[in-house]
Amino acid sequence: MTENRSLVLVINCGSSSLKFALFPAGDQTPLMSGLAECLGETDARITAKIDGDKKTESLNGEGHAAALDVLLRVLAEHGWLAGVKAVGHRMVHGGEAFKASVVVNEKILSEIEAHNHLAPLHNPANLLGIRTAIAKMPTIPQVVVFDTAFHQTMPASAYLYALPMEYYREQGVRRYGFHGTSHRFVAEEAVSLLKLKPADHGIVIAHLGNGGSATAVLNGKSVDTTMGLTPLEGLVMGTRSGDVDPGAVVHLARAYGWDVNQIDTVLNKKSGLLGISELSNDMRTIESAAAEGHDGAQKALDVFVHRLARHIGGLATSLPRLDAVVFTGGIGENSSLVRKMTIERLKVFGIVLDDAANEATIRGKAGVISKGAGPVAAVIPTNEEWMIARDAGELAGLGGSKGAARA
Ligand code: AMP
């Protein structure tokens, strides 16, 4: 059956993976989503989920172009291909040049390429996805949505490091922040869920997934966030350390004779929940092991929560008033324990947990999990893919996208 509605394809391309989702313009529920993984390796495969039904097929060791060929074939088989009127791409780093999403052309692509040094692992992979999609769908508008764009409203006091200014001028070394698409989505949803005044509110959003960041949002704009030049700064994450005394890194590098790649691996891949627990990077495993008395898991949980609460408190100082703390991401949406432990540490703000509401607000549910007259604590499931689809639809001139989302 041919689909009459305009459709938007969302592509999030990594170095060996390609995530995708297909949305009718203006509709938050995807018709299809999926993942191509292990691209370029012998077990390269693509899995598409349609109506809860998952199908996987081998890509015979091929890469991104083959994955996109299969994706386009699946779209055609379902009568969706002709309806695709825009493609939205996730781009990790837009530096200071990109403050909003844009339609791609050659000039924009070279400007993005000029930022590759800021995200050497992510941006080239994202660009590969765009170039491949342009080659396969040359007449469809391609839109780039940046993880960093939402945080471009941060003031210099929040984004500058106290390093010699020449490194900012010459290398662009400053705080940029990430997860911007998620923070932007949740910030908008919070206004309607919590009936906040659009031009008079202050909230802190904690996006807690395998990577995690928290953001202070003043009247819909990011004014401070925990991630920095790279996604390594700030909260304790699955395998990333978050904040560490840079002196500790210098000390270890001297003690063990590490080069920069070894430092990078330790801080990004071996630290965080995994590093402290010596067990797992996965919060579910950490929680159940801690409940069974695993000392490392308990320490990992405690440090995670301590750091999170401390950052939420710090971010609140960028707001004239704290109206709400909102949790999102895999941990934020599902771990009533992490939320409870965190809110217990936020007593100074007058937030009081509603235990029953906290326990009940899991698995994709949104709602308030606090009681009393103080600031509200709430859970709002994120939907980054939809935000990318919405931006792509709007910039491609597909009617109804924004209106439908905000209705
Ligand atoms: P994300 O990167 O947003 O998919 O989030 C992944 C993280 O969410 C992992 O640490 C998971 O262990 C965690 N997570 C998912 N479900 C739960 C749950 N029910 N309880 C605790 N953590 C969870």
- Ligand 1 and 282: CB distance under 6 A: yes
- Ligand 1 and 288: CB distance under 6 A: no
Confidence (pTM): 0.95
How far, in whole angstroms, is CA 326 from its chain's centroid?
Answer: 15
Q: Please state whether 10 falls in left (phi above 0), alpha (psi between -120 and 50) or beta.
A: beta
d(CA 124, CA 283): 30
Fold agreement between 7-146 and 196-384: yes
Spacing, Cα 112 to ligand 1 middle (Å): 32
Spacing, Cα 25 to ligand 1 middle (Å): 29
CA-wise closest residue to 147 among 111, 118, 106, 190: 118
Residue 17 tokens, joined: 């993976």
Residue 200 tokens, joined: 């008079």
Residue 44 tokens, joined: 């390269």
d(CA 25, CA 249): 47
Mutate to test the pocket of ligand 1, among 33, 181, 210 (most ligand atoms within 8 A of CB): 210
- Ligand 1 and 212: CB distance under 6 A: no
The least confident of 32-46, 266-280, 387-401 is 387-401
Spacing, Cα 268 to ligand 1 middle (Å): 18
Interval 96-122: pLDDT, tens: 999 999 999 999 999 999 999 888 888
Amino acid making up residue 25: A
- Ligand 1 and 24: CB distance under 6 A: no
Interval 35-65: pLDDT, tens: 999 999 999 999 999 999 999 999 999 999 9
How is residue 58 annotated by DSSP?
Answer: E
d(CA 96, CA 336): 37
Helices (H), 242-294: 246-256, 260-269, 272-277, 283-291
State which ligand 1 atom lies nearest to the alpha carbon of 363. 19
Mutate to test the pocket of ligand 1, among 17, 335, 339, 341 (most ligand atoms within 8 A of CB): 335
Interval 330-355: pLDDT, tens: 999 999 999 999 999 999 999 999 99
Residue 300 tokens, joined: 């990992």
DSSP string, 321-333: S--EEEEEHHHHH
3-state helix, strand, coil in the chain (%, to 5): 40, 20, 35
- Ligand 1 and 334: CB distance under 6 A: yes
d(CA 390, CA 58): 31
Sketch the domain layout of the chain as residue ranges: 7-146, 196-384
pLDDT (mean) for 70-93: 96
Spacing, Cα 8 to ligand 1 middle (Å): 28
Strand, helix or coil for residue 128 = helix
Residue 1 tokens, joined: 């059956």
Helices (H), 12-81: 64-77
User: Which contiguous run of DSSP H or E holds residue 134?
Assistant: helix 123-136
CA-wise closest residue to 197 among 180, 220, 176, 177: 220
Interval 283-299: pLDDT, tens: 999 999 999 999 999 99
pLDDT value for 213 = 98
Assigned CATH for 7-146: 3.30.420.40
DSSP string, 44-108: -EEEEEETTEEEEEE-TT--HHHHHHHHHHHHHHTT-GGGEEEEEEEES--TTT-SS-EE--HHH
State which ligand 1 atom lies nearest to the alpha carbon of 273. 10
Angle between helix 246-256 and 260-269 (nearest 10): 120
- Ligand 1 and 340: CB distance under 6 A: no
- Ligand 1 and 284: CB distance under 6 A: yes
pLDDT value for 176 = 98
CATH of 196-384, one of 3.40.50.2300, 3.30.420.40, 3.30.470.10, 3.40.50.300: 3.30.420.40
pLDDT (mean) for 67-95: 96
Indicate the average pLDDT of the chain.
Answer: 95
State which ligand 1 atom lies nearest to the alpha carbon of 285. 12
- For the cut 70, the answer to whether the pLDDT of residue 407 exceeds it is no
